[in-house]
Amino acid sequence: MLRVRPLHFTSRIDHWERLLTALGLVLTEGDGGFRVFDSAAGRLAVHSVPEGDPLDGTTTLAVEVGNLAEFARRTNESAAEDGNTPAELVTADHGDACRITGPDGFSFLADPAGHGAQCADADPALAVVAVWFSQDTDGAARTLRHVGARPRPVPDSDETADFTAKNGGVLMVRPASGLSRSGLGFEYGGGLEPVRERLAAAGFQVSMTEEAFGSTLHVANPDATVFAASVPATVWISERRPMG
């Protein structure tokens, strides 16, 4: 199995819960400093940190899998054609995990799934999106294929790549200058008006941009006041239109 489940660090965890609930996610684990929210496709874990902590406002790419050893074996077997072994079983601060490292040096963890099926009460059209920004977009895309992510068509034949995870969520590769990093967003399968209405009803200010391949909602990032220079000002929700 493979499910997208980024980990977001914040000193404003209650603000994030209010935002995620308005977006259509449902709290399924925890109620204190560590909480997990389900969408219909993918999850988001939110970890509380003190204001001013270096992690405050950052997101770490992460996934959930079934059996760690089997996941590592399959990933390395798939990557053998590239002459490397990107998956390594490790003991992280929170327990056993598998670390996957790309050719650009960027790494992320695969953790055992905390619970099985996605929450049936989540908005069925909403998906969690994890983004891998890299100078080596080809290498990042190959690594995601090796872990079992499924490529899907993208509207532009540029340095971008999109993937879906078998058990929920979207993984994107996007070009970036400087060090590789991860990002967070959401995707909605259809018109964005239902999300916009929920966000407005919850007191959030929302703006919309129209782009060639769909619309995108932007809502104020609860962490934006923490480090204005390094934290994105908004959280984005993109409209997912079927590729014709």
Closest C-alpha among 14, 6, 12 to residue 30: 14
Residue that the structure tokens 């770490």 belong to: 60
Residues with Cβ within 8 Å of 182's Cβ and at least 6 positions away in sequence, in order, are: 6, 59, 60, 61, 106, 108, 130, 131, 132, 133
β-strand pairing of 126-134 with 170-175: parallel
99: which strand partners?
Answer: 88, 109
Which of helix, strand or coil describes residue 228? Answer: coil
Radius of gyration of the chain from Cα atoms? 17
User: Tens-digit pLDDT profile for the chain (244 aa)?
Assistant: 999 999 999 999 999 999 999 999 999 998 889 999 999 999 999 999 999 899 999 999 999 999 999 999 999 999 998 888 899 999 988 889 999 999 999 999 999 987 766 677 899 999 999 999 999 999 999 999 999 999 998 766 677 999 999 999 999 999 998 899 999 999 999 899 999 999 999 999 899 998 767 899 999 999 987 555 578 889 999 998 665 4
Fold adopted by 2-63+115-186: 2,3-Dihydroxybiphenyl 1,2-Dioxygenase; domain 1 (3.10.180)
| Alpha helices for 109-166 (secondary structure H) | 137-146
Q: What is the DSSP secondary structure assignment for residue 79, as one 8-state letter?
A: H
